[in-house]
Amino acid sequence: MEKMGKQEFMEMLREEGKKAGIEPVKNLFNEDQRLAEVKRLGILDLDLSSERRYNSLTQVATYLTDCPQSTINILGSDVQQCKAGFGFKPEEFDMMKEIPREISICQFGLAKPGQPLIIENLLEDERTKHFKNMPFDLGFSFYASLPLMSSRGFSLGTLCVFDINPKNLSHQQIDGLRLISDQIVHMLERESDSTNTSYTEEESVEEPSQMKGQYYSETSILFADFVGFTNMVENSDPGELLDTLNTLFSGFDRIIAKHNVRKVKTVGDCYMCVGGIPSQQKTHAREVCAAAIDILKFVDGTNIQYEALGKPRWDVRIGIHSGPVIAGTAGNIFDIWGDAVNIASRMESSGESGKIHISEKTKDYLEGCANLTHRGEIELKNKGKWSTFFLEELK
């Protein structure tokens, strides 16, 4: 198709989308930075049609999810490019190679960066129910995608699976798609490095204080906080207070080291650590939860000693959530950022003294190997209602 013909075709599709009633996603957070990342890697310019590795990964995605079709899509400012796929007829795949972004399903994944997008029934979901009015509708009813998150933490596009029947995916299937999407991004960034040497050389010159970050698609974050600490500060000797904190936090350090969990930092009486960095081990949630249980036991044992000496108790409250983060260093200081960190903090602050409060996402990663008490739905500040649990023990 000649360039003018292609432009006319794209405009025709946009008009058909408007007539069908499709509402494009709007007011995206950090969209300028995301597009700069797509441009930096030059992925829209990559021709992967002869790279069997990518098509093979989409085939694996169909086997994993029992969905007949899968694609790898890259999202630009106004286009979606299909770089690889499995299960489509040649004419269907040719039609999908480049379409306007505003008539794609994948665009809606940009509204929640880093999160899976699962639409059990496209014909009923408000975002997609008008797609059936498009002249080239392929008849899908189910859609699921995992974002292709770059090493800097920006969405490049999606790994998608489709089915003609409404359905859902298990946690293991979604996590399997995440692992495939991580591999796809690794391959894409290597493709970019091999064709963009000038950028690589330019980026190699950094200021000593520049923040260096790496995206990790799945981790478990723990926050521990002492209940009533403000009152202790007001009624205790500063030196004794500091000694007690040092004793407790040193014990926490030994515990998390035993469970392969990494300390992030302490802020006042708050202790923060993370599992899954850098190895992305599947057991990150179990290791963090095991550390949490040992922390409670350690604090209980310490309180028995304190009470025998006539000292006040220190009661701890723990919250855990699992999700993607950016982990980075500036100088020798390690830290993590992302919405998953905020949610883990809210899990702690909305928890109860002497208990381990975990999210449903962390529960899924425990894969039935824990005794839990369902707390029900609670309101997390600025996050809406969440189904949460108290961890009793690991099996």
Report the CATH number at residue 85: 3.30.450.40
* 162/220 same-domain check: no
Dihedral of CA atoms 253, 256, 257, 261 in degrees, nearest 10, equals: -130
Residue carrying the six token digits 């824990």: 370
Cα atoms in the Cβ-side hemisphere of radius 13 Å centred on 72:
33
- Residue 119: how many other CB atoms lie within 10 Å: 19
Which CA distances in Å does 364 have to 116, 174, 343, 384? 14, 11, 16, 20
* 223/181 same-domain check: no
Please tell me the predicted confidence (pLDDT) of residue 7: 84
Please tell me the predicted confidence (pLDDT) of residue 88: 93
Q: Is residue 9's pLDDT more than 50?
A: yes
Q: How far apart are CA 180 and CA 72, in angstroms?
A: 11
Question: What is the mean predicted confidence (pLDDT) over 39-59?
Answer: 91
CB 366 within 8 A of CB 285: yes
Beta bridge partners of 145: 117, 160
Asked if residue 179 is part of any domain, the answer here is yes
Please tell me the predicted confidence (pLDDT) of residue 268: 85
* 169/278 same-domain check: no
Per DSSP, the three-state class of 81 is strand
Asked if residue 158 is part of any domain, the answer here is yes
Asked if residue 240 is part of any domain, the answer here is yes
Q: How far apart are CA 189 and CA 180, in angstroms?
A: 14
Please tell me the predicted confidence (pLDDT) of residue 221: 98
End position of a domain, from candidates 196, 220, 235? 196
Asked if residue 16 is part of any domain, the answer here is yes
End position of a domain, from candidates 147, 170, 196? 196
Stronger pLDDT, 175 or 238, i.e. the higher one: 175
In the chain, the number of structural domains is 2
* 228/361 same-domain check: yes
Report the percentage of the chain scoring pLDDT > 70: 93
- The conformation of residue 268, written as its DSSP 8-state character, comes to T
Instruction: Give the pLDDT band of residue 110 (cuts 50, 70, 90).
Output: very high
Start-to-end CA distance of the chain, whole Å, equals 61
Q: How far apart are CA 54 and CA 50, in angstroms?
A: 9
Please tell me the predicted confidence (pLDDT) of residue 204: 42
Asked if residue 229 is part of any domain, the answer here is yes
Instruction: Report pLDDT digits (tens) over 305-350.
Output: 988 988 888 899 999 999 999 999 877 889 999 999 999 999 999 9
Please tell me the predicted confidence (pLDDT) of residue 374: 96
* 192/216 same-domain check: no
Question: What is the mean predicted confidence (pLDDT) over 229-249?
Answer: 77
Please tell me the predicted confidence (pLDDT) of residue 218: 93
Asked if residue 375 is part of any domain, the answer here is yes
Closest CA to 386 of 362, 352, 356, 353: 362
Dihedral of CA atoms 36, 79, 147, 262 in degrees, nearest 10, equals: 0
Instruction: Report pLDDT digits (tens) over 352-376.
Output: 999 999 999 999 999 999 999 999 9
C-alpha 174 chain-centroid distance: 12
Q: What amino acid occupies position 161?
A: V
* 244/142 same-domain check: no
* Number of residues in the chain: 395
Q: Is residue 96's pLDDT more than 50?
A: yes
Instruction: Give the pLDDT band of residue 86 (cuts 50, 70, 90).
Output: very high
CB neighbours of 186 closer than 8 A, spacing ≥ 6? none
Asked if residue 148 is part of any domain, the answer here is yes
* 62/93 same-domain check: yes
End position of a domain, from candidates 162, 196, 230? 196
Q: Is residue 304's pLDDT more than 90?
A: yes
Q: Which domain holds residue 373?
A: 212-394
Closest CA to 15 of 161, 122, 97, 133: 133
Per DSSP, the three-state class of 19 is helix
When mean pLDDT is compared across 34-43, 59-68, 124-133, 196-205, the lowest value belongs to 196-205
Asked if residue 332 is part of any domain, the answer here is yes
Buried b (16+ CB within 10 A) or exposed e, 312-325: ebbbbbbbbbbbbb
